[in-house]
Amino acid sequence: MRKLLFTTGSPFARGVRIILDELGLDYERQEEVTTPTAEERSRATPTFQVPALQDGDTTLWESGLIAEYLLSEYGRRPDIGLPLATSVAGSGAEWSDRLILATVQTLGTAATTISQMKWSGVAHDDNDYLTRCAERLPHLMGWLESRLPDETDGFLKGVVSVQDIFLTCHLNFIACRPIGLDAGLDRHPKIRALVARMEARPAFLANPVLWWEPGVIGYAEDGKTPLYKT
């Protein structure tokens, strides 16, 4: 059986969960709602990071690599409107498509670094490196906006791309976390339209953005309200 190790709040892991759903693949959810020790996490991956996927004899970490594996390994696309891409580079411009994915993931890394540092007690405007991470955001957004053809297409024509999915997950994360970041969606109409289209897909609705911060040990029956350790 396939198994995914993930934390509730990770936008990288949410992207992989959405891809698994888009492909109609079942998997065992190994969900962590508390922070494991380094030793515990190292049993799953030497990076200590999630998501990590186990599929038969294959164990992978790094969300972009997991996405690429799933797209190439599983060919069936359930009939749910615009289909999921069959590859991360599908437009005939391989390096340009891959550059978009790498840049989307850098945006996610900037946001999650700021978030994780905040929970370790360092706000981004109190730290030079984190300020630099925050300053990246408008530049990344402007560049990504310029890579979208119009307000109706995603990064790869005629399909839902891994790039579309991860960018939406990272921007949802920024919007839902009180980390003092604003991605400026109003100034980026093509990205805003992309995010709205992605959010309406069943796989996104089935994997909502959940709140997490240290001390959260689970969620109320509504599936959204965090429960804190007392």
Ligand X SMILES: N[C@@H](CCC(=O)N[C@@H](CS)C(=O)NCC(=O)O)C(=O)O
Residues that bind ligand X (CB under 6 A): 7, 10, 12, 48-51, 62-64, 105, 112
CB of 51 to ligand X, least distance (A): 6
Supply 38's token pair. Answer: 């380094």
CB of 62 to ligand X, least distance (A): 5
Closer of 49 and 161 to ligand X (Cβ): 49
Closer of 69 and 153 to ligand X (Cβ): 69
Q: Are 159 and 90 in contact (CB under 8 A)?
A: yes
Q: Give the Cα separation of 187 and 205 in Å (integer).
A: 25
CB of 7 to ligand X, least distance (A): 6
SS3 at position 215: coil
Q: Is the dihedral angle over the CA atoms 121, 123, 127, 133 positive or is it negative? A: positive
Closer of 112 and 155 to ligand X (Cβ): 112
Closer of 102 and 196 to ligand X (Cβ): 102
155: left (phi over 0), alpha (psi -120 to 50) or beta: alpha
Q: Which amino acid is at 188?
A: H
CB of 185 to ligand X, least distance (A): 21
